[in-house]
Amino acid sequence: MDTREGSVRFPRVIIIGGGFGGIELAKKLRNKEVDIWMFDKHNYHTFQPLLYQVATGGLEADSIAYPLRKIFKGQSNLIFRNAEVTKINPDNNTIETSIGNFSYDYLVIATGSTSNFFGSKELEHFAMPMKTVPESLNLRSLILQNLEQALTEPDPVRKAALLNFVVTGGGPTGVELAGALGELKRHVLKKDYPELNIDDMQIYLVEGSPVVLGPMSKQAQKSAKDFLEELGVTVLTDIKVSSYDGNTLVLSNGQAIVTKTVLWSAGVMGDVPKGIKQELITRGTRIKVDEFNRVDGYNNLFAIGDVASMSTKDYPNGHPGVAPVAMQQGRHLAKSIIRLINKEELIPFVYKDKGSMATVGRNRAVVDLGKIRFQGIFAWFVWMFVHLMSLVGFRNRIVVLVNWVWNYFSYDRGIRLIIRPFNRQTMTPDPTKEATGGSLNKPPSGG
């Protein structure tokens, strides 16, 4: 049943996706005369900027995730359904989901982005993405499993492959992930694995453009590269990945790196649901929208955040795929929907860029706030404060803060757990194994 029995018939707004944009939109429609339905295949919101810390053992997964139902607790005009939207039908105002079909008056696509392997099935199979909580946990398990296996690997070539880690993509995610691995190597792993010569662990960052952190200032780009190299990361710029077969990564300059771990952050694309016409899909697999976030050709179909491409004078290729864009578009669209219902004139969306930042490990960060640019320890504290306050939920903020303080003073990362062992052959979690290596079908020994 897709209506609430006995409720007054208000215009129905369906939101697909509980990310930054979808949440802001729903919150701003609170207490408005609209009937909101939100669909997401997960029952939680993920704070994606900190996924790399889950992958490298700095934070628990549940400290950066928050139940969507709890976010909207007490919001009487919203219903959440944990379901996957399989197709949208904009010509008859319906969506198809894993729990049935639903009609709408206004539909908002806020599905975010997914990893872009640029058509390479080989890279898609063997490289490790990091866009979701399960993917970050898979990555953590693989990193730790490789180190454990390296302890007993007699063959020097295979051992080198287990100890070589390659991060692709020099954007904020790639830079932060490579920096976190450098911190692990310097402060943690040499204590955890005294039998290993930790200097044999090599970390590479591969970026296709001439600089890392391309959208940021030249000062930030240079400082980030210097910080990475201080942490022992080999930074390879103006070089692209040609192929990867699970054992050898081949680069566009002909260099080959034997490695069992390629961490993919080289590209993203919009997560577009089925039902959107191909002519509406533009660069980066994003949906073309006008200045009101309205999908071209429709009056009641909208897209916001990473999945939307709004071409403006300042952003001819669409806005950057960052959380502030999605949040601002979500808030603005809430006002636009109310204006549409009241038959008022719409106001174009204008993005207010509040700056960019990235961290490269302990006491190392870069911040660009308009013409104000700074790097180092103060930038690191600013980065921590902004990310801490951006987390959803007071508990999550406290848990993350406690972890950060502990990590800072102890030089440790306490969540180095192989919870769900990763199968390198299938590149999926191994359901037949527990963290101890035993079979799930066998009871543990002892009482």
pLDDT tens per residue across span 252-270: 999 999 999 999 999 899 9
Of 322, 360, 363, give the one whose Cα is nearest residue 220.
360
- Backbone φ and ψ of 236, nearest 5°: -115, 110
For residue 274, name the pLDDT band (cuts at 50, 70, 90).
very high
Question: Which CATH class, in words, describes the domain spanning 12-41+83-115+269-341?
Answer: alpha beta
Residue 36 is classified by DSSP as E
Pairing of strands 106-109, 301-303: parallel
pLDDT, tens only, 381-413: 999 999 999 999 899 999 999 999 998 888 887
pLDDT, tens only, 100-119: 999 999 999 999 999 999 88
CA separation for the pair 370, 98 (Å, rounded): 45
Sequence-distant (6+) residues with CB within 8 A of 337 are 13, 29, 34, 106
3-state DSSP assignment of residue 268: strand
The set of catalytic residues is: 176
CATH 3.50.50.60 residue ranges of the chain are 12-41+83-115+269-341
Question: Looking at residue 345, what is its pLDDT?
Answer: 95
- The pLDDT of residue 133 is above 60: yes
**Residue 126 contacts residue 132 (beta carbons within 8 Å):** no
Question: Looking at residue 363, what is its pLDDT?
Answer: 93
The strand ranges marked E within 136-177 are: 164-168
Question: Looking at residue 413, what is its pLDDT?
Answer: 77
- The pLDDT of residue 431 is above 70: no
Q: What is the pTM of this model?
A: 0.89
User: In whole angstroms, what separates CA 144 from the centre of its chain?
Assistant: 21
CATH 3.50.50.100 residue ranges of the chain are 121-266
Q: CATH code for 121-266?
A: 3.50.50.100
For residue 445, name the pLDDT band (cuts at 50, 70, 90).
very low
CA separation for the pair 31, 79 (Å, rounded): 13
DSSP letters along 360-402, please? -STT-EEEEETTEEEESHHHHHHHHHHHHHHSSSHHHHHHHHH
pLDDT, tens only, 307-366: 999 999 999 989 999 999 999 999 999 999 999 999 999 999 999 998 999 999 899 999
